[in-house]
Amino acid sequence: MRLDLTGKVALVTGSTQGIGRAIAAGLARAGATVAVNGRKPDGVAAAIDTLREHGEFIAAPGDVSTDDGTAEVLAAVPRVDVLVNNLGIFGAQEPLEITDDEWRRYFEVNVLSAVRLTRAYLPAMTDRGWGRIQYIASDSAIVTPTEMIHYGMSKTSLLAVARGFAKAAAGTGVTVNSVIAGPTHTGGVEEFVYQLVDRNLPWEQAQHEFMLKHRPQSLLQRLIEPEEIANMVVYLASPLASATTGGALRVDGGYVDAIVP
């Protein structure tokens, strides 16, 4: 299959590291010009330096969980054909110790940032008759983890947001989907793993213990690599996925114990 995005402009939020950076690289390899986003200009510039071998990139710094930061990104990238709402925060916390401020922060960063950008870019996509919007959700959207209920709540919300905006874009040539990512190997997840297992363990042993004790449903029985998530995102962004919209597509290593999401 040829996943050709030549001439398209893509924006990936939270793309200076981890899954976001892998998605940015994958979209660029398919021919898109990719806007790399992070809160700090220096971090965005450093990420682009590591990505240049994959294709063409532009800088789009700004904290999209805020109105001012979103305005900065919109000014840097006024036209977007492919919007990937990847930005997200996570962390383990005892359920009854999550404060109101933390509940609000998770919703602001993980959900409203994506809604805000969708509201900004969707009208022009529908006018042009082509566009792709994706939300990077999580297995936690379906299998709520007791150690981070606030995170699970935010990812469940993204499934509803994606389905709703897909209906809003019905018949326009714009597709809207969510991607349910399973436990994925990133720097942030390594730190998360060590919050739950013995920090003195070597990484491979720590990962094994984490999967065994905290993610035993995984059929893959290992953490997913960011590039494996990116492969699904690039496909959904391509013209070949023109009939896939309103969906919640799983790249979860079989973690969610269901035939369909």
Enzyme catalytic residues: 151
Instruction: Tell me the C-alpha to C-alpha distance, in Å, between residue 163 and each of 102, 133, 158, 166.
Output: 26, 11, 9, 5
**Which tokens hold the place of 67?**
């109105």
Beta-bridge partners for 12: 36, 84
Widest pairwise Cα distance in the chain: 55
DSSP alpha helices (H): ranges in 98-148? Answer: 100-107, 113-128
Retrieve residue 114's tokens: 């994506």
Burial of 179 (0-12, 13-18, 19+ CB in 10 A): buried
Contact at 8 Å (CB) between 40 and 61?
yes
Which residue(s) pair with 184 in the sheet?
224
